[in-house]
Structure 1
Amino acid sequence: MSSNDVKLNGDHLDELHRFRTAGSVQISAELFEKLYLTPQTVVKGELRKTFGNPTPIGLVGFLIALTPLSCELMGWRGATSSGAAGIATYFFFGGLLQFIAGLLEWVLGNTFPSVVFCCFGAFFFSFGGTLNPNFGAYAAYAPAGEPASAGLATRGFNASFGFILLWMGVMTLIFLVCSLRVNICFFVIFLSLLLALIFLTVAYWLLADDIVGNAGLASKMLVTAGACAFVTCAAGWWIFFAIMLATLDFPVQIPVGDLSRFIKPGGLQKRLQEEV
């Protein structure tokens, strides 16, 4: 083997190593936030040299669960707003994939996306369980002698489910504030999702009040919530596409609007390093 061949093989291995290890390349803050959805100054770890990036896994779970649901809420092509057709999707995409991604983000030290994925994974598990007849969630509200599905129309069920959506909205509001340190796409995701949860809460509480005319207004609230959720998904698909392009070092990159440089860190990372 000639010296030129040895040099070429060495260059090839160096290039391969550059693609396989995130720690071997100095990446910009914007690219870091695009890949990991967490400010670069918050956490640094050696595990990224060994493990892949779990962020797109969590995004796929979130998007495949929420995008069809948003279309159903808007009634596209005659779909109904019950969401029952997607029960399996809520369990395996919305719940399982996001929960796995959240645990992997935790292993890598990415606290913010870990909390986000685990929380919304748990929500989709709960949502799927509520709609699943085997869980008996709405059957418990059905009047005596009537089928289990009658529980979905009762005041007790709709009022109670509205409280779940309300506190999911409070959690999303906290995520919205925190996303000001990440990127514009993440901010749009949480802003539109917060609006969707507000409209859903109003819709279920309107149904719970059982006043003539409320059903029509509640239906409009559900459609509006679906439209807001669709905006959430549009921003989510955008950032998912951006992450996949960046992951493969694609020559064309799309921006996500890095915000971490506008709100400066509070110095926690520096203090932790000084203590060590």
Structure 2
Amino acid sequence: MSTLSQIKSREVSEIDRIQTASSITIPSELFEKMYLNPETRVKGQLRKTLGNPTPVGLMGLIINASSLGCNLMGWGGSGGGGAALVGVSYIFGGVLLTLGFTMEWILGNSFVAIVFAFFGAYTFTFALTLTPSVNAQGAFIANATTPVELAAGQAEFHASIAFYYMFSAVMILIFMVCSLRTNIPFFMIFLLLSLLNILLACADWEAAKGHMKASNNLQVASGAVAFALSFPAWYVWTAQLFLTVDFPLSLPIGDLSTRFKGASDRKGSGKEVV
């Protein structure tokens, strides 16, 4: 009888231990540091069952932006407007960011899922445009028979794709405003990404006008911005990896979620919070 009581006692203790572990609440600051997303309430325990996918998506963005920045600046004799990085854009940019989007969506982290979805599509689009078999620019010069017609076709291509970069910049600016609920590095990434796309749009518009020197200068400037934005991305990615392995050093990321309160927090407190 005593043995049966001991077994039941151990079972109850084990159940209590499991319930306690499953009821642990992640502090909002730590949650935002892990997922780059304001904490949201979702049903289920997937966040406690599955791994953190946020570093996967960030890894794709970092490798793509870092190498593209060096390429656009022409470092070490590089060039070609990123054409040599088509494979990088497809795999590191497109695939990893899309994978990150899918997993974040499953976990219910809406904001970072939307961000990864956008940049996954963005890098896939960039890679497809530079893929020789797609020959995006060729559609504008296919019927050109003279140098004048060839130049006109190239100008039309540059003037057309510039709008893609410009409207991407507008969307990224909205992401930047929303990121005020996350942290400083994420905000800086969006700020620099919007500037990058504005510079790329201006470079194409200058090329469409035949101002090749100005276009090249703007392209170099966009490369510098792409390289610069990789620094906050590298930093927050490293901070997340440190969390993943329970590293004894914790990197601060400048949490903004407590500075810019959410609408639900403001409603709950009854005070107007900036």
Same fold (TM over 0.5): yes
Does the aligned pair in 2 maintain the 1:179–1:186 contact within 8 Å?
Answer: yes
Q: How does 1:36-47 map to 2 (within 5 A)?
A: 36-40=35-39, 42-45=40-43, 46-47=45-46
Does the aligned pair in 1 maintain the 2:57–2:96 contact within 8 Å?
Answer: yes
- With over 3 angstroms needed to count, the CA separation of the structure-2 counterparts of 1:177 and 1:114, relative to structure 1, is same
What is the aligned partner in structure 1 of residue 242 from structure 2? 245
Partner SS, residue 256 of structure 1: coil
**Structure 1 segments of 4 or more deviating over 3 A?**
21-27, 150-153, 268-271
Uncovered stretches (5+) of structure 1, i.e. residues with no partner: 1-9, 272-276
**Amino acid in the other structure paired with 2:159:** A
What is the aligned partner in structure 2 of residue 4 from structure 1? none
What is the aligned partner in structure 1 of residue 166 from structure 2? 166
What is the aligned partner in structure 2 of residue 260 from structure 1? 257
What is the aligned partner in structure 1 of residue 219 from structure 2? 222
**Amino acid in the other structure paired with 2:33:** K
Instruction: Kindly state the Cα deviation for residue 217 of structure 1 after the two structures are TM-superposed.
Output: 1.2
- With over 3 angstroms needed to count, the CA separation of the structure-2 counterparts of 1:22 and 1:77, relative to structure 1, is farther
Partner SS, residue 52 of structure 2: coil
Does the aligned pair in 1 maintain the 2:83–2:130 contact within 8 Å?
Answer: yes
What is the aligned partner in structure 2 of residue 156 from structure 1? 156
Matched, 1:28 2:27: yes
- With over 3 angstroms needed to count, the CA separation of the structure-2 counterparts of 1:215 and 1:108, relative to structure 1, is same
What is the aligned partner in structure 1 of residue 186 from structure 2? 186
What is the aligned partner in structure 2 of residue 207 from structure 1? 207
After superposition, the CA RMSD in angstroms is 2.6
In structure 1, what is the Cα distance between the partners aligned to 2:163 and 2:265?
Answer: 35
What is the aligned partner in structure 1 of residue 196 from structure 2? 196
CA displacement 1:93-114 (0-9 Å, x = unmatched): 1001101110110000000000
Q: TM-score, normalised by structure 1?
A: 0.83
In structure 2, what is the Cα distance between the partners aligned to 1:25 and 1:133?
Answer: 52
What is the aligned partner in structure 1 of residue 126 from structure 2? 127
Does the aligned pair in 2 maintain the 1:185–1:256 contact within 8 Å?
Answer: yes
What is the aligned partner in structure 2 of residue 64 from structure 1? 63
In structure 2, what is the Cα distance between the partners aligned to 1:38 and 1:25?
Answer: 19
Specify the structure having the higher radius of gyration (Cα). Answer: 2
Does the aligned pair in 1 maintain the 2:144–2:153 contact within 8 Å?
Answer: no
CA displacement 1:193-249 (0-9 Å, x = unmatched): 111111111000000112xxx211111111111111112111101000000001111
Partner SS, residue 133 of structure 2: helix
Q: TM-score, normalised by structure 2?
A: 0.84
What is the aligned partner in structure 2 of residue 139 from structure 1? 138
Matched, 1:103 2:102: yes
Does the aligned pair in 1 maintain the 2:104–2:110 contact within 8 Å?
Answer: yes
The size of the alignment, in residue pairs, is 248
Partner SS, residue 262 of structure 1: coil
